[in-house]
Amino acid sequence: MLQLSRPISNIKKIYLSRQKASSTRRQYNENEVINIFKKYGFEIVSPEKLSIVEQISLFDNADFIAGVTGAAFTNILFCKTGCKVLCIQSAKNDLSVFSTIAKCLKLEMQYFSVYDESRKNKDIHEDFIVDLVKIESVLVDFLSNDQSQVTKN
């Protein structure tokens, strides 16, 4: 069972971790990215460690969801109207399924596309490095509509 620092119903800002995912898909500088999100009060969650009922509750109660694109983002189906979703992905990924879901449910979705020149991003599953300065800037902007959420912990 996943250990969370507070009950699922109290978690308002979620970062979807891929650290415990069994997938062999992309690797990125997740620990560094997680540290940035933690500064802004995000709870780090591995959805695959939660039951479906826990996942539904988690997403239903969330105000902010962020992470690297993947199947876990399908859970935005359970978000309430107005929830903010920040999806980090390779610049080569032009899939719009999550933004389509977000639009239908009136969620506020934003993509942060990563283009890693050194790796040439050959396909959407290739490894990449997230620019930490840029992602923190985007995160602050992402949270800025609710000034109480911008404060660092």
Q: What is the pLDDT of residues 96-142, one digit of tens each?
A: 778 888 888 899 998 888 876 555 545 556 677 888 999 999 999 99
- Considering only CA atoms, which of 101, 99, 94, 100 is closest in space to residue 110? 99
pLDDT given at position 6: 59
In a domain, residue 152? The reply is no
Measure the CA–CA gap between 86 and 145, rounded to whole angstroms.
14
In a domain, residue 101? The reply is yes
Report residue 82 CA to chain centroid gap: 16
In a domain, residue 37? The reply is yes
User: Which residues constitute the domain of residue 124?
Assistant: 11-143
pLDDT given at position 70: 85
Residue 52 DSSP SS3: helix
Report residue 131 CA to chain centroid gap: 15
Q: What CATH code is carried by the domain that includes residue 50? A: 3.40.50
In a domain, residue 4? The reply is no
In a domain, residue 90? The reply is yes
In a domain, residue 26? The reply is yes
Is a pLDDT exceeding 80 seen at residue 93? no
- The number of folded domains in the chain is 1
Measure the CA–CA gap between 153 and 36, rounded to whole angstroms.
10
